[in-house]
Structure 1
Amino acid sequence: MAVETLSVILLVALFAFLATGLWVGFALMAVAWIAMTVATSVPPGTVFATKVWGALNIWDLTALPMFLWMGEILFRSNLSRNMFAGLAPLTRRLPGGLLHVNILGCALFAAVSGSSAATTATIGRMSLPELEKRGYDTRMAIGTLAGSGTFGFLIPPSIILIVYGAATEQSIARLFIAGIVPGLMLAALFAGYTAIWAMMHRERMPQADSAHDEAGKLRAFMGLAPTIGLIIAVIGSIYAGLASPTEAAVIGVIGALILASASGEFGRTAFTESLLRATRTSCMIAFILAGAAFLTVAMGFTGVPRSLAGWIGEQGFSPYVLIAALVIFFIILGCFLDGISIVVLTVSVILPMVQAAGIDTIWFGIFLVLVVEMSQITPPVGFNLFVLQSVTGRNIFEIARYAAPFFALMVLATALLTAFPEIALWLPRTMMAR
């Protein structure tokens, strides 16, 4: 069977399985089984058993459930309220006022949770009622939160960067370092847009809050100390070379347990709920990774990735043309799949083409995560839109409309990252060279 025909059959089969509501992991396994049955004489069962075990028996993946558990612990503590109280005095006098709490709060929480959904839900439940009570524009409040909630994918410790690193055998520590500057750049773009919008729409901004005494500001700022301390302990231990990502994740869990227990609101029930939720999410991701690993080796047997990479080479596409095509491809895919599924589903096919075009795989990981962030706020399956729908009760397409300017800023960030690759590569090269 021709490779082109087989590719079409497998693609149709995949979307048919997904359309029926079949779990993504099962859908990937089913497509891989079809590919091996149709195109090879190798026993699919044997390959499935060995490849799945090899894909999941990776030490770096143990960081995944630990970081997830850390986020779940913090989600159930009062750190989010303390974070709002601490950030409010810092943003009160900025153009846009407390709208910047959404941006800064998401950036801070992303640095200790690694999850986009957890970041959006936690900051949303904390900030939206406060912003509404103070008279801030609801559309802008939801829009800033929808866009900033995606920071959980990019700002380390990112769950999706761990998945990408495990799937492509890249250094997770290097990926974490590479995500810092692009994450800060995206936060700066969001904050700049918010400030400009506030200056252009003064009539939609509330009256300035009354000034607070310096002692009150200091007490509020102290509420940020636990979160900042945890960030330094987790991320700093990796960058200083004192701990691997897995060891840093353990440090994060211990620190989160101490902070949550000290808050007085984290009892046995919350402990059990956080552990069970982290376990369920970890199993879901592992199941998808297992299916993707089987599909990867099946595609290798069929020769589809090699053919696609060869076709790209024959066309003489420049890296910029390939990147532009991939942006469109991932945005369309993001309308139907969640971020982690997109990464594990496409990496095995896309990576040979990327390497053939001479694109750095660390840079491509950051690019991929940035584009996947866009998919989190594109209907009908933008996961952050579902989270905000549950928080606000509003229509998912209405929320997507509020988030549209921030989607455009992500496109701009992707263009800047493509034009200036050193945005992602300078810091890991500098730090790893020490």
Structure 2
Amino acid sequence: MISDPLMLAVVLVGGMVIFLLSGLWIGFSLYAAAICGMLACKMNLPPTISIWDKIGDLMANSIWNTMNSWPLSALPLFILMGEILYRTSISTRLLNGLVPWLSNIPGRLYHINVVACSLFAAVSGSSAATTATVGKITYNELSSRGYHKSLAIGSLAGSGTLGFLIPPSLIMIIYGILSDTSIGQLFIAGVIPGLTLAAAYSIYIMIRCTLSPELVPQEKESFTTAQRIESLKDLFPVFLLITVVLGGIYAGLTTPTEAAVIGVLGALIIAAWFKNLTFNNFKESLLSAAKTSGMICFIICGAAFLSQVVGFLGIATALSKFIGTLGLSPYMLILVLGLMYVLLGMILDGISIVVMTLPIVLPIVTAAGFDPLWFGIFVVFMVELSQVTPPVGFSIFVIQYITKDDVKDILKATFPFFVIMVLMVILVTVFPEIVFYLPEKMIAK
């Protein structure tokens, strides 16, 4: 039996690695690792209470307290909204509406990946859905028009990760629930970093295409002012949906959950207006949303149980004290955590990274003086990086499915956008005002 909390932390982490490598589901791995930690701990319990009774109590409390949450109901609703948009022609109309407006800037239609992903991210909340939806439309279109494949793939991979950063974001919802941070504040805090990252992608595309004109087709499409105005009819519904969903949250008129309900209704109305809402695609949207929500909620419950165990065994306190003895400066601590998240991103998906690390990492970060709101945006950036790091970069898998290219070529094309994301992480770390500016403005009002 072990009494040292740091050794118990090793047992927990080692248990998670073993269970994950064995092929066990993420949720089961979290439960199993927590139970192993409890069984390995030396504790003094009354004779009438067994260790299994204590495990059962902690598990029941953690599941009830986590699932009995009104903000959590926003999760399946935002997923459903994204599924409805994904399975109707709204995304195709979005692309058609953007073409006339992007044809005269350096890089031309490469920017469609950035703009379309930014807009779809603002109504889907999922990086996978954003990458898949936009990629299925734009990749073939860019290839057929003679655009360079490498830059098309790289811009899609980088921009697709915006689904986690530009609100509403599933990762932000999960982080907010596990860290007891306002989900609305997280949504607001993600706007400027998300738009800045999107702008950085576009600037890189413009510079790259200016230096290498052969990346862009020689034939230049031209559109009249009348054609551009006509294209607004395809853009207006998506802009309106974004304005209603996010505007209500930013103005303080709706909670994230209420905004999600409005978003689902709005997506249904738009799909019906364009005559794309059928019984089959609505059924598929519901089934896919139910499966995804069930999977995420199961993982959240496992993470909540692990968090309870970490607190009960005194691991978080012991780790905080241990790191305090190392004498790390706050920035050095963030650097170490950043490297840890990049390594985890090579073997785990984004949601798993958040739920498995947060119970241990968050107390250490807050003890070092960092605001949980800022750290939430930092974690989202780390999750974005995990989407494009091998061998478990989910966006890489999605793009490979779309393009049929080798993973090596996709990674090479994605690397410049990976570097831009790293630079953006450094920027928000050195200048945290980028994260706090909008939330502070909203509170001041």
Task: Name the TM-score, length of structure 1 as normaliser.
Answer: 0.98
What is the match of residue 32 of structure 1?
34
Cα offset, 1:208, TM superposition: 4.1
Cα offset, 1:81, TM superposition: 1.3
1:251 to 239, 250, 262: 262
- 8 Å CA contact 2:103–2:222 kept in 1: the answer is no
- 8 Å CA contact 1:334–1:378 kept in 2: the answer is yes
Amino acid aligned to 1:384: S
- 1:80-127 per-residue CA deviation (whole Å, 9 max, x = no partner) reads 111111111121111111000000000000000000000000000110
2:280 to 262, 269, 272: 269
Cα offset, 1:3, TM superposition: 2.7
Structure 2 segments unaligned to the other structure (5+ residues): 46-50
1:334-349 matched pairs, under 5 angstroms: 334-349=345-360
- 8 Å CA contact 2:387–2:396 kept in 1: the answer is yes
Q: Give yes or no for the alignment of 1:433 onto 2:434.
A: no
Q: Give yes or no for the alignment of 1:169 onto 2:180.
A: yes
In structure 1, C-alpha distance between the alignment counterparts of 2:67 and 2:221, rounded to whole Å: 55
What is the match of residue 131 of structure 2?
120
In structure 2, C-alpha distance between the alignment counterparts of 1:210 and 1:54, rounded to whole Å: 57
Cα offset, 1:12, TM superposition: 1.7
- Name whichever of 311-320 and 239-248 sits farther off: 311-320
What is the match of residue 204 of structure 2?
193
Cα offset, 1:55, TM superposition: 1.0
In structure 1, C-alpha distance between the alignment counterparts of 2:236 and 2:294, rounded to whole Å: 33
What is the match of residue 398 of structure 2?
387
2:417 to 406, 410, 417: 406
1:22 to 21, 24, 27: 24
- 1:29-82 per-residue CA deviation (whole Å, 9 max, x = no partner) reads 000011111114552112111211111111100000000000000001111111
What is the match of residue 52 of structure 1?
63
What is the match of residue 286 of structure 1?
297
In structure 1, C-alpha distance between the alignment counterparts of 2:190 and 2:252, rounded to whole Å: 17
1:307-326 matched pairs, under 5 angstroms: 307-326=318-337
- 8 Å CA contact 1:309–1:352 kept in 2: the answer is yes
Amino acid aligned to 2:419: A
Q: Give yes or no for the alignment of 1:130 onto 2:141.
A: yes
- 8 Å CA contact 2:11–2:36 kept in 1: the answer is no
What is the match of residue 12 of structure 2?
10
What is the match of residue 358 of structure 1?
369
- 8 Å CA contact 2:161–2:387 kept in 1: the answer is yes
Instruction: Report the 3-state secondary structure (helix = DSSP H, G, I; strand = E; otherwise coil) of the residue aligned with 1:223.
Output: helix
Cα offset, 1:315, TM superposition: 2.2
- Name whichever of 216-225 and 229-238 sits farther off: 216-225
Cα offset, 1:157, TM superposition: 0.5
CA RMSD of aligned residues (A): 1.0
- 8 Å CA contact 2:6–2:319 kept in 1: the answer is no
What is the match of residue 416 of structure 1?
427
Cα offset, 1:408, TM superposition: 0.3
Identity %: 48
Instruction: Report the 3-state secondary structure (helix = DSSP H, G, I; strand = E; otherwise coil) of the residue aligned with 1:224.
Output: helix
- The total of aligned residue pairs comes to 434
Cα offset, 1:305, TM superposition: 1.1
1:328-339 matched pairs, under 5 angstroms: 328-339=339-350
Instruction: Report the 3-state secondary structure (helix = DSSP H, G, I; strand = E; otherwise coil) of the residue aligned with 1:135.
Output: coil
Amino acid aligned to 2:410: I
What is the match of residue 217 of structure 2?
206
Structure 1 segments unaligned to the other structure (5+ residues): none
Cα offset, 1:371, TM superposition: 1.3
In structure 2, C-alpha distance between the alignment counterparts of 1:15 and 1:400, rounded to whole Å: 26
In structure 2, C-alpha distance between the alignment counterparts of 1:16 and 1:264, rounded to whole Å: 50
Cα offset, 1:204, TM superposition: 2.4
Cα offset, 1:21, TM superposition: 1.1
Cα offset, 1:17, TM superposition: 0.6
In structure 1, C-alpha distance between the alignment counterparts of 2:370 and 2:356, rounded to whole Å: 20
Amino acid aligned to 1:21: G
Instruction: Report the 3-state secondary structure (helix = DSSP H, G, I; strand = E; otherwise coil) of the residue aligned with 1:136.
Output: coil
Q: Give yes or no for the alignment of 1:304 onto 2:315.
A: yes
Instruction: Report the 3-state secondary structure (helix = DSSP H, G, I; strand = E; otherwise coil) of the residue aligned with 2:290.
Output: helix
Amino acid aligned to 2:314: G
Amino acid aligned to 1:50: N
- 8 Å CA contact 2:66–2:301 kept in 1: the answer is yes
Task: Name the TM-score, length of structure 2 as normaliser.
Answer: 0.96
- Name whichever of 84-93 and 277-286 sits farther off: 84-93
- Name whichever of 13-22 and 33-42 sits farther off: 33-42
What is the match of residue 76 of structure 1?
87
